[in-house]
Structure 1
Amino acid sequence: MTTEPSVQAKTTGTSLIVQVSGDMDWETTPLLREHLLDELARSQGHMVLDMSAVPFCDSAGLNVLLWIWRKAAEAGTVLVLACVPLKVQRMLAMTGMDTVLRAYDSVAAAEEARPGRGGA
């Protein structure tokens, strides 16, 4: 059973914090792509995806993460993940995506690492 996804964003300083909620799977990827692309257009150089409310993510969900990371890079925006559930962390590690997508334990840590603040 797929949990309907939602994407909610707020700006803090120069970071756009995007809370992703619900399953990230083959059924939800079209909606997620649309919402994440809309939020990327609002970003100002740094976008944090808060994954704390994502109960499930399959390969299609990982594909969305890689896709939005590439779109962000094309737009000159640094995209990082925060609060990634353990199961998703394992999938990122197994696929090698953890070497591409930076992940932080908290949104605050991800914000601290934004460009221009002495972080990544």
Structure 2
Amino acid sequence: MAGPSVETITSGRCLVARVSGEMDYVTDVVFRPQLKELLSRGDRFIVLDLSGVSFCDSAGLSMLLGAWRQADDSGAVLVLACVPDPLRRILQMTGVDQILRVYETVTDAEAVAD
């Protein structure tokens, strides 16, 4: 299995970041700097495509909230798309889905940016 990664593409007015791998306390040291760098680019609308996330624990949830907070502080909008069912349940159970906007697809999320 490949290690954790964040691959980005620019799509219209959005920056789409495809997050892959496990988001947990072990990969925190990989993901946190990548997300911080991603957010420092100055894009105004960022979609995190989580379709490649195979696992997420509380450290991963903390990373997502930290990224949202950093985006919000800089005046950017960060949303989630393609959230796997297990992670979607965690977002709902913790109430994080009330903070982070979640879209079924990247296309749905991009439509909001226009």
**What's the TM-score once normalised by structure 1's chain length?**
0.91
Judging by fraction of residues, say which structure has more strand.
2
Query: What is the count of residue pairs matched by the alignment?
Result: 114
1:65-104 deviation digits (Å, cap 9, x = unpaired)? 0000000001111000000000000000000000000000
Contact 1:3 1:23 in 2 (8 A): no
Q: Which residue of 1 aligns with 2:22?
A: 23
Q: Which residue of 1 aligns with 2:101?
A: 102
Contact 1:49 1:79 in 2 (8 A): yes
Question: Counterpart amino acid of 1:66?
Answer: L
Which structure has more relative contact order (CA 8 Å, sep 6+)? It is 2
1:22-80 deviation digits (Å, cap 9, x = unpaired)? 00000001210100111112242100000000010001000000000000001111000
The alignment partner of 1:27 has SS state of: coil
Shift in CA distance, 106/78, structure 1 to aligned 2, threshold 3 Å: same
Q: How does 1:1-120 map to 2 (within 5 A)?
A: 4-114=3-113, 117=114
Percentage of identical aligned residues? 47
Cα distance in 2 for partners of 1:3, 1:54 equals 12
Cα distance in 2 for partners of 1:108, 1:48 equals 10
Contact 1:69 1:79 in 2 (8 A): yes
The alignment partner of 2:72 has SS state of: helix
Shift in CA distance, 3/29, structure 1 to aligned 2, threshold 3 Å: farther
Cα distance in 1 for partners of 2:96, 2:43 equals 24
Cα distance in 2 for partners of 1:42, 1:69 equals 14
Structure 1, unaligned stretches of length 5 or more? none
Report the aligned-residue RMSD.
1.2
The alignment partner of 1:55 has SS state of: strand
